[in-house]
Amino acid sequence: MAVKIAITGFGGRMGRALAEAVIQADAAELSAAIVRPGSSLVGADAGEVAGIGRNGIVIVDSLDKADFDVLIDFTAPAATLANAEYCAEQGRPIVVGTTGFDPQQKKALLAHAEKVPLCLASNFSTGVNLCFNLLETAARVMGNDSDIEIVEAHHRHKVDAPSGTALSMGEVVAETLGRDLAKVAVYGREGQTGARERETIGFATVRGGDVVGEHTVSFLADGERVEITHKASSRLSFARGAVRAAIWLMGDDVQNGRQPGHYDMRDVLGLKN
Q: Catalytic residue positions?
A: 154, 158
Query: DSSP strand E in the chain: where?
Result: 3-7, 28-33, 70-73, 94-96, 117-120, 147-154, 185-187, 201-207, 213-221, 224-232, 261-263
Q: H or E element: which one contains 104?
A: helix 103-111
Give 230's Cβ-side CA count (13 Å radius): 24
Distance CA 170, CA 163 (A): 11
CB atoms within 10 A of CB 73: 27
193 three-state secondary structure: coil
Q: How many CB atoms lie within 10 A of CB 102?
A: 9
Q: Is the peptide bond prior to 117 cis by the omega test (within 30 degrees of 0)?
A: no
